[in-house]
Structure 1
Amino acid sequence: MSVTSPSDAVFAAVDLGATSGRVITGRAGPGKLVLTEAHRFPNTPVRLPDGLRWDVLALYQGMLDGLRTAARSGPIASVGIDTWAVDYGLLDADGALLGLPFHYRDSRNGQAAEQVLAECGAQELYSVSGLQHLPFNTVFQLAAHQASAHRGAARTMLLIPDLLVHWLTGTVGAEITNASTTGLFDASAGTWSDALIGRLGLARSWFPPLREPGDPAGTLLPHVAEYTGLPAGTPVTTVASHDTASAVASVPAVEPGFAYVSCGTWSLAGLELAAPVLTEESRAANFTNERGVDGTIRYLRNIMGMWLLEECRRAWERQGTAPGLAELLADAARARPFAALIDPDDETFLAPGDIPSRMDAHLVRTGQKPPDTPGGYVRCVLESLALAHRRTLRQAAGLAGRELTRIHLVGGGSRNELLCQWTADATGLPVTAGPAEATALGNVLLQARTHGLVGDLVDMRRLVAQTQELRHYTPQGDQQAWDRAAARLEPA
């Protein structure tokens, strides 16, 4: 139950990304959707002797500090948490965390993936989970945990947002949009797959009851309430805890036939469907079927996104030669079109490090000349991403039997005018860019809907379209030049 009247309800959205976390406060209602950032804090992974780990304790403290700041601004009706997917913590019988969670970019998962596929087979896994093959899927990470000293002590597995909810409330559950990314979820039945869990020798008791967006997740524990200054009865509301699912819930689509690209660290490009696509053709094309809000299916493919640009900038900063982002984008706009193109999903780009040098090696390997200026690298990244958006969305439409009329590009990448325009040019479709804060908006909207302040998914999206700043891009330039560039990236 809300601790404030609906008319003055303020919702706290905890939004954790790969490089930073935020606590956002939001108000939503008829004709009103306003966000205010209360607190921002870094998300800095830690490399330990046994691998790359998330400093989840620092994230938890940052979240508490953010809620404390939010509480000073007035009554908070509820709290919702979203984060990235696939990563998890293991708890022992007393509910204590067994070590810092591994980072999905850790190198331990490749061999474990081979072991799982040898046991189940790619076709069997896909026919049940409908999940895109990525070496860091939870199912593979759990297999990598088989030899861990913690395995015998483990009693519960909680994905990162569920772990944070547990620390706030003491309750245990698994939010469904994030559970659907594990590879251990039945995409057709909408439940944990007991068959896959048993086949892989995992304990069924590890997997907690599923929660839907909108379900109550408990109230703040007394010590949390005391630290944050929030009332002890403050509810925690289950939102679409996979950040992409929250982002897609706030896509401002007011017409059918839309595609979306949720562009941040990753570009998640796809369609919203009523049922999963579990064909062999879909598996071969490496598309995923993840849960969205209200039983929808996010039919998409992960594309390495703005991570490439940000890692380039970090590499140049380490060398002391980093231009500002505005200067980089201006130089990219002046650079020669299609001088160099990469496959953003080449596995050499997955781990943190010197991405420009890896781009050089990739380009030389594919018979191309590496750029000689930072602007050339940025143009290479952005044109390659636009072409990846084109390839992915065209494949998704063909596999799902859909005609596309518009692309909605949301998330931080929607601020990048070059990427938005080149995505329109590459696809030949109009692009609506924004909102940039799609994930936090989706988080707030789902809390507001639970409190009766907004209506269904259609109403939520209409409200976003009415209240948020959007930009519109129409295809321009030489379409045949984009066709030729796309042909260069086709398999030989």
Structure 2
Amino acid sequence: MSKTVLVFDFGASSARAMLCRVKDGGFDMQEIHRFPNVPVTEGGHLRWDIDELWEQMKIAIGFGVFNGGFDAISVDTWGVDFGLIGQDGNLLEKPVHYRDSRTDGMLEDVCARIPAETLFEQSGIQPMSINTLFQLNYLMKNDRNMLFRAEKLLMMPDLFAYLLTGECRSEFTEATTTQLIDQKARGWNIRLIEALGIPKRIFAPLIQPGERYGELKQELADEFRTEPVPVFACASHDTASAVMAVPTEEEHFAFLSCGTWTLFGTELRRPLVTEQAMKMGLTNEGGSSSTTTLLKNIMGLWLIQETRRWYNSAQCAGYSFADLEAMARECEPFVSFIDPNAPDFAAPDDMPLKIQEFCRKTGQPVPETPGQIMRCIYQSLACEFALTLAEISELTGFDYKVINMIGGGTKDKLLCQLTADAAGIPAVAGPTEATALGNAISTLIALGEISDISEARQMIIRSGLTEEFQPQEHENWLEPLQKYKNLTRNR
């Protein structure tokens, strides 16, 4: 009988629990629980509501037992954020959200002592203020006692695994988002940690995808009348899990993981830490099977999500995502563009007003209607994807024939089509639940249900979980692409 994995897939705005197993040469995925991930403000900081998330996890475990049980558990989340465990084994405070303002000025403070180029060369990670390194620098400057009271620092998936098992481990792909991993030695960068004054004892031993954190605590197993099943480390950074589910047989492929953040990249055998890579805003995150995921973080569906939220809250419009997509289709193309990566759009609230102001200050026609706002977002994202593809191709020397679009954003057919149109090559969209599926694949390999990642990707290809979008009228995009390049690359 096929073994079943209880998968927890945490996104920045929602989470889901799924039961996944191999069935009839493909994957059977059953969603048993979905719940919101809503941050709270406590102690003057924006925080993850870890208590509520843990309660929802326990509800999901109960649902999993009720739906036939499971043989293992694995967890993936976003990167960079962490919790601090005290000497009594309890969490010292709720983890702070990466969008909290506490890291304002921290990047500049660190880089005044350690050049950004050195940080990139050592870690392969693009210096960004949200990175764990800069969050820890804030604590060293403003709440040093908190760090020295901590026994262990656990990244978010490791923290959930700790609640399940009581074991402190740091999964490698997630750890790379801290900017504190030595990309050459593939271990904690002790020299950098000591240079920043951070107590090195708080960093837990590293484990790789497919290794165990431990077993489900006996008291939890007793509570839910199940066995103390193993809790495995998947590729627990959600991007790394999603890349495992890219449906390709090519060694060199381009992927576009569509979520709140959109990640455009490729999979390499080793980090690429050249000066050009840094200037292009590329980062090297840990992947499964000792690979490196070279990618660019792009402010993706966040722009669409926040635009919808503003219209529905400020104007009580009641728009669905489908409504906004339909409005965009009706509007004239190529009128105005924004830079999705501009800091103007990083904070929540008033997104349509921010888009209008960006167009105004860059001397472009100002979009007025919801449809015009959405058309501006869609075509700006498509142009960004096309230029990023060209830049990565030039840097790696590989000619990518297809863009593999994965994740929930692939439900947006207009975004998929415009991506193919702008890039001039087909876009293959799906699977939509790539992160949860990649999470499960890692653990199913560890359980012996699948031989390796190549077999898993072939199974996805055969499963019919993808849809292909052929480029249409690519020549009409050439002038807008140059206009967008002048706006975003030549400033």
User: Normalized against structure 2, the TM-score is what?
Assistant: 0.96
**2: distance between equivalents of 1:49 and 1:208?**
27
**Structure 1 residues 482 and 100: CA distance shift in structure 2, 3 A:** farther
Does residue 453 of structure 2 align to residue 473 of structure 1? no
List per-residue Cα deviations over 1:85-142 (Å, max 9, x = no partner): 0000111112211111110011111211111111111111011001022210110011
Whole-Å separation in 2 of the counterparts to 1:450 and 1:365: 54
Aligned equivalents of 1:55, 1:226: Cα separation in 2: 26
8 Å contact from structure 1 (residues 257, 406) kept in 2: no
Out of 254, 257, 270, which is 2:249 matched to?
254
Give the alignment partner of residue 95 of structure 1, picking from 73, 86, 89.
89
Contact 2:424/2:474 (<8 A) preserved: no
**Aligned counterpart in structure 2 of residue 106 of structure 1, from 82, 96, 100:** 100
Q: Conserved in 1, the CA contact under 8 Å of 2:406 and 2:430?
A: yes
Percent identity of the aligned residues?
A: 38
The offset of 1:263, in angstroms, is 0.6
Q: Which runs of 5+ in 2 are unaligned?
A: none
Q: Which residue of 2 aligns with 1:329?
A: 325
Equivalent-residue separation in structure 2 for 1:403 and 1:189 (angstroms): 30
1:390 aligns with 2:386: yes
Map 1:29-428; keep pairs closer than 5 Å: 31-146=25-140, 147-148=142-143, 149-231=145-227, 233-319=228-314, 320-428=316-424
**Structure 2: distance between partners of 1:486 and 1:351:** 28
CA deviations 1:12-52 (Å, max 9, x no partner) are 00011111111111112561201110001110001234221
Task: Name which of structure 1's ranges 78-87 and 110-119 shifts more when overlaid on structure 2.
Answer: 110-119
The separation in 1 between residues aligned to 2:25 and 2:406, in whole angstroms, is: 21
For residue 430 of structure 1, the aligned residue among 426, 429, 432 is 426
> For 2:43 and 2:445, how far apart are their aligned partners in 1?
45
- CA positional deviation for 1:256: 3.8
Partner of 1:4: none
Rounded Cα–Cα distance in structure 2 between residues aligned with 1:340 and 1:67: 48
Aligned to 1:188, what secondary structure does the other structure show?
coil
Is 1:68–1:227's contact at 8 Å kept on the other side of the alignment? no
Q: Distance in 1 between matches of 2:482 and 2:258?
A: 20
CA contact (8 A) 2:110 2:137 kept: yes
Report the more deviating stretch, 478-487 or 337-346: 478-487
> Secondary structure at the residue paired with 1:448?
helix
SS of aligned partner of 2:69: coil
**Are the equivalent residues in 2 in contact too, given 1:92–1:153 (CA < 8 A)?**
yes
CA deviation profile, 1:315-370 (whole Å, cap 9, x unmatched): 11112023222221111111110112100111121112111111111111111222
Q: Does structure 2 conserve the Cα–Cα contact (< 8 Å) formed by 1:91 and 1:98?
A: yes
* Equivalent residue, structure 1, for 2:16: 22
Secondary structure, counterpart of 2:267 in structure 1: strand
Q: Determine the C-alpha separation between the residues in 1 that align with 2:481 and 2:209.
A: 41
Question: Secondary structure, in 3 states, of the residue corresponding to 1:300?
Answer: strand
Answer yes or no: is the 8 Å Cα contact 2:80–2:155 preserved in 1.
yes
TM superposition shift of 1:468: 4.1
Alignment-mate amino acid for residue 311 of structure 2: W
- Aligned-residue offset at 1:457: 1.5
Q: Distance in 2 between matches of 1:366 and 1:387?
A: 17
Shift of 1:77: 0.7
Q: In the aligned structure 1, how far is the partner of 2:26 from the partner of 2:424?
A: 33
2:49 and 2:177 map into 1 onto residues whose CA distance is 21
Separation in structure 2 between the aligned mates of residue 442 and residue 291 of structure 1, nearest angstrom: 14
The 3 A distance-change label for structure 1 pair 181 and 468 is farther
CA contact (8 A) 2:334 2:480 kept: no
| Matching of residue 448 in structure 1 with residue 444 in structure 2 | yes
Q: TM-score, normalised by structure 1?
A: 0.96
- Whichever residue aligns with residue 42 of structure 1, its letter is P
Which runs of 5 or more residues in structure 1 are unaligned? Answer: 1-6
> What residue identity is the alignment partner of 2:35?
F
The answer to whether the Cα contact below 8 Å between 1:387 and 1:486 also exists between their aligned partners in 2 is no
Counterpart of 1:455 in 2: which secondary structure? coil
Within 2, Cα distance between the matches of 1:242 and 1:141? 18
Q: CA deviation at 1:382?
A: 1.3
Q: Which amino acid is the alignment partner of residue 422 of structure 1?
A: L
Contact 1:68 1:230 in 2 (8 A): no
- The Cα offsets for residues 234-272 of structure 1, whole Å up to 9 and x where unpaired, read as 110110110111000000012343200001101100010
1:459 alignment partner, one of 455, 459, 466: 455
**Structure 1 stretch displaced more, 479-488 or 320-329:** 479-488
Q: Give the residue type in structure 2 aligned to 1:82.
A: D
Q: Is the 8 A contact 1:245 1:291 kept in 2?
A: yes
**Aligned residue pair count:** 485
Is the 2:430–2:466 Cα contact (8 Å) retained in structure 1? yes
Q: How many angstroms apart in 2 are the aligned matches of 1:11 and 1:389?
A: 34
Deviates more, 1:452-461 or 1:293-302: 452-461
* One-letter amino acid matched to 1:379: R
Which amino acid in structure 1 is aligned with residue 45 of structure 2? G
Q: 1:100 to 1:380 in 2, by over 3 A?
A: same
In structure 2, C-alpha distance between the alignment counterparts of 1:32 and 1:400, rounded to whole Å: 33
CA distance in 1, matches of 2:205, 2:130: 23
CA, structure 1 residues 48+187, in 2 after alignment: closer, same or farther (shift >3 Å)?
same
Q: Give the 3-state SS of the residue equivalent to 2:75 in structure 1.
A: strand
1:21·1:62 contact (CA, 8 Å) conserved in 2?
no
CA distance in 2, matches of 1:59, 1:482: 46
